Amino acid sequence: MPTNWPELTLAVALVLAGAYLAADLAARVVQSTLGAVIADPAAERAFVDRPRRIIRVTIFLVAAAALIFPAMRLAGFQTGLGANPQAVGRWLLEVGLRIVVIAIAAYLIVRIASAAARRLEREMSHGTGLDVIERTKRAQTLGRLLQKTLSIVVAGMAGLMILRELDIDITPVLTGAGIAGLAVGFGAQTLVRDVVSGFFLILEDQVRVGDVAVVNGQGGLVEQVNLRTIVLRDEAGTVHIFPNGEVKTLANMSKDFSYYVLTVGLGYDEDVDRAIDAMREAAATLLEDPAFTPHILEPLEVYGIDAFEPGQLVVKGRIKTVPMKQWIVGRELRRRIARLFAERGIELAKPFMTMHMERE
């Protein structure tokens, strides 16, 4: 046992205490940061507790290893290591500490990104609407894409920085990566454009699965919204696939609410006011029907005479419905209007043809 064991014991105890305090402080900072991002007690075990423990142990070991040799030397104890203890301590305090900081920073960034993706998914999944499943899928798609992309970028940058700290020449790696990136950029321009366009298409919630949309002039039911393509199926059952980068115009016919626009052609001899009253009465009976009440958001709005056309007066109106129900409501409304017109003797405009005969 060395004669200066009290000084040595005190030095080691101080080193361990300092390392523990530094590790505990870093763990508390990590816990508060990740806890603020995730804000979900149920997910704290995976996204907060585990990183906190890893950071505490890592910081403790690194700090203890970096300080133990200088502390022992100050206490008058000479180690029996073959290598120069001063050089080892200097390397640990300089290069080793920077490597650990880089690794910890990279790990924290990836964990924060995972926590943020988890929070995005949870917040977008709130509610009891019919589109909650689609919102959840959209959040999962965006969250996983951002998480994987950021993880790859951070891991690559951290690896290169660590190699540089180890005095390894990374110039060939950077050169090769630049050439490969340039080749991929030229060869996959269309793919990258489709993915970027699909990312913003999903992020901005422009269209969802189950919507009725018109893409580049082609209408249909949206069956898939992917990062690269959007898939429509028209009423004939034909599937249309559009790369997201090629979508020039997109009209969503079932976003939040819908309108069914109604036009009725009346003869010039008919009483327009009586016809409009009949239309509103037919819409009122539809609104009182339990089978259609949940689908209607507002009563029928009649604009009045919208146009003068040959042989008819065009009366126009619209009724507001929940998404995807405008056609069901509109067909039933037309049926009731036609029946009520027939009961009250209101005739719709009839097509006619004017012929001129000339005698030679």
Query: pLDDT in tens for each of the 360 residues of the chain?
Result: 455 556 667 766 777 777 778 777 777 776 676 666 555 555 555 566 666 777 777 777 777 766 666 666 665 655 544 445 556 556 666 777 777 778 777 877 877 777 777 777 776 666 555 556 666 666 666 777 777 778 888 888 888 887 777 777 777 767 777 777 777 666 677 888 888 888 888 778 788 877 889 999 899 988 888 888 899 998 888 999 999 888 898 988 888 888 999 999 988 888 889 999 999 999 999 988 999 998 998 889 999 888 888 888 899 999 999 888 888 999 999 999 999 999 988 888 877 666 666 666
Residues 310, 267 share a domain: yes
Instruction: Give the total number of structural domains in the chain.
Output: 3
Residues 83, 118 share a domain: yes
CATH code at position 221: 2.30.30.60
Instruction: Confirm if 85 and 79 have CB atoms less than 8 A apart.
Output: yes
Instruction: Confirm if 164 and 171 have CB atoms less than 8 A apart.
Output: no
Whether 176 is covered by a domain: the verdict is no
* Burial annotation 115-142 (CB, 10 A radius, 16+ → b, else e): bbbbbbbbebeeeeeebeebbebbbebb
Beta bridge pairs of residue 260:
319
Domain boundary among 127, 149, 170: 170
Secondary structure of residue 216 in the 3-state scheme: coil
Residues 110, 226 share a domain: no
Residues 245, 263 share a domain: no
Q: State how far the Cα of 217 lies from the Cα of 228, in Å rounded to an integer.
A: 19
Residues 289, 165 share a domain: no
Whether 357 is covered by a domain: the verdict is no
Residues 266, 138 share a domain: no
Residue span of the structural domain in which 31 resides: 5-170
Instruction: Confirm if 359 and 286 have CB atoms less than 8 A apart.
Output: no
Domain boundary among 192, 217, 252: 252
State if pTM tops 0.75. no
Q: State how far the Cα of 77 lies from the Cα of 56, in Å rounded to an integer.
A: 28
CATH code at position 312: 3.30.70.100
Beta bridge pairs of residue 213:
220, 252
Residues 331, 215 share a domain: no
Whether 194 is covered by a domain: the verdict is no
Provide the token pair at 264: 């009725």
Residues 140, 19 share a domain: yes
Whether 31 is covered by a domain: the verdict is yes
Task: Mention every residue, 6+ apart, whose C-beta is less than 8 A from residue 275.
Answer: 264, 266, 315, 341, 346
Q: What is the DSSP letter of 92?
A: I
